[in-house]
Amino acid sequence: MKNFAVCYNQTINRSVEVKDELIKIFAEKNICVQAIDIDGLKVGFDFVFVIGGDGTILKTARFYAKTATPIFGINLGRLGFLSQASRENLRFAVENILSGKYVVQERIMLKNSGYTALNDFVIKGSEGRTSRFSLKINGKYVCDYLADGIIISTPTGSTAYGLSAGGPVLAPSLNAFVIVPICPHTLNARPIVVPDTEKITVCSDKNAKSVVSADGQEFYEVEGCIDIEKSDYIAKLALLDNSEFYTILRDKLHWATHPEYGE
């Protein structure tokens, strides 16, 4: 690797400070890096360090998926599920990456009408109230949902909104998508896991508009049916060698840990 970039988000507290610290570490190793703001992303790099929360990483991942450029997250947000490092172990992370002690994990993505999502597409009624949604897979009718909305999630996004709405957690390596109804008005509506080769169609009531969000960052209105399928692009997330999904699940989501009781 020759061309490194450091992407930072000025709206996040301490982002500029960490950016400067990261550039200093590279300077000590006689390596030149280019700093770029999240709102001024550009191509031409072999590897990109991303400073911020999961939202910053999602936006950067979508952009650099088009050039198959690996990105590495440095968390300054709350959960940081997509991040691999913090300010405290910044130097350790850089030295490991420069030594080649990392892997690049490919993450499947979704697409709809020119939009791409690494986590999920969320479909809701335009008036923000309960709506009827009809679900089809590969053009074949599956069911109707009377619900607040529908989440179509990747394995990466299964630990995000889909999990909060009652969906399952999928290992990132699975080639599958999750369909999760949001607050369905029935007790027998459950999430569905489908292969990533399937074409998912969600239709709203006639003459009704839906609001669609991609990764909770890009919003647009659609009238009628929405087709969602696997994107041609693959996000590439750099992970340190000792990274393991189930450890991250336990450490960051406190998965299945027992509450601590006082004496």
Across the chain, which has 263 residues, the per-10-residue mean pLDDT values are 89 90 94 94 96 92 96 79 80 92 95 96 86 95 94 96 94 96 88 97 86 96 94 95 70 64 46
Q: What is the model's pLDDT at position 129?
A: 78
Q: What is the model's pLDDT at position 208?
A: 81
Write down the pTM of the prediction: 0.90
Domain architecture of the chain: domains with CATH: 4-100 (3.40.50.10330), 111-231 (2.60.200.30)
> What are the CA-CA distances from residue 12 to residues 48, 50, 67, 98, 228 (Å)?
18, 12, 26, 26, 32
Do residues 73 and 67 touch, judged by C-beta distance below 8 A? no
3-state secondary structure of 261: coil
Q: What is the model's pLDDT at position 260?
A: 60
3-state secondary structure of 62: helix
Instruction: Copy the structure tokens of residue 142.
Output: 């599956």
The alpha-helical segments, DSSP class H, found in 104-263 are 161-164, 245-253
Beta strands in 42-139 (DSSP E): 47-52, 71-75, 102-112, 115-117, 120-125, 131-137
Q: Is residue 54 among the annotated active site residues?
A: yes
Pick the catalytic residue: 20, 46, 54, 251?
Answer: 54
DSSP class of 67:
T
Q: What is the model's pLDDT at position 179?
A: 97
Amino acid symbol at 59 = K
